[in-house]
Chain A
Amino acid sequence: QVQLVQSGAEVKKPGASVSVSCKTSGYSFTGYYIHWVRQAPGQGLEWMGWVYPNSGGTSFAQKFQGRVTMTRDTSITTTYMELNRLRSDDTAVYYCARARLGDFSFDYWGQGTLVTVSS
């Protein structure tokens, strides 16, 4: 069965960086885009960008350009999202999600990783 399993919660200070991993299994890793979506406490969903495991290509929402990196390691079917220069308003649950082929909706999601930014 398809599974996306994320790394555990993180606490970071403002200005630091955080890396969240997303280990996938149960399907062809290089055949599907992986997206990252975040959700601040009590707020809605915010799309951050995607990584294509086949090529390593990426695309980001303008809001995060210059501050986010998304990479993959095909040997362990894992993608990573790194966010730099953290601010308090980056406190959120970060999700990875697999995009369906064709219509690009997100059919499988990780369990979420809480990142807390606090001095």
Chain B
Amino acid sequence: DIVLTQSPGTLSLSPGERATLSCRAGQSVSSNYLAWYQQKAGQAPRLLIFGASRRATGIPDRFSGSGSGTDFTLTISRLEPEDFAVYYCQQYGSSLWTFGQGTKVEIK
């Protein structure tokens, strides 16, 4: 199985600041199959980014994804109050799906 390691575990930032979240894979991942999700407390995850860099329907353009191979990044250009949540990366490969352990973005 491909292991995804997210960092940092927690990111403490203020509204308006830029958030940079990292997702590192234990082996190369196809960019086509790397996604990012946002999860708020008590809610199901929401798809933000698919194919490493493509925003899902209705996702604001302050969210962007980049990367290839084993290193991927989710960037939130200017944090809005509703962006404080937990973020997960996910990959598909060899008929298996795996998630990273998550990064919590909290209000500083």
Shortest B87–chain A CB gap in Å is 11
Give the contacting residue for A107; candidates B56, B88, B98; CB below 8 A: B56
Give the contacting residue for A44; candidates B32, B50, B101; CB below 8 A: B101
Question: Provided the pairs A95-B44, A110-B44, A111-B44 are in contact, do residues A103 and B50 lie with their beta carbons within 8 angstroms?
Answer: yes
Give the contacting residue for A59; candidates B37, B46, B95, B99; CB below 8 A: B95
Give the contacting residue for B96; candidates A44, A61, A112; CB below 8 A: A61
> Residues on A close to B: CB < 8 A?
35, 37, 44-47, 59, 61, 95, 97, 100, 102-107, 109-112
Show 29 A/B contacts (Cβ-Cβ < 8 Å), sorted by A: A35-B97, A37-B45, A37-B99, A44-B88, A45-B37, A45-B90, A45-B99, A45-B102, A46-B99, A47-B96, A47-B99, A61-B96, A97-B44, A100-B50, A103-B32, A103-B33, A103-B35, A103-B50, A104-B97, A105-B35, A105-B51, A105-B56, A105-B90, A106-B35, A106-B45, A107-B50, A107-B56, A109-B46, A110-B44
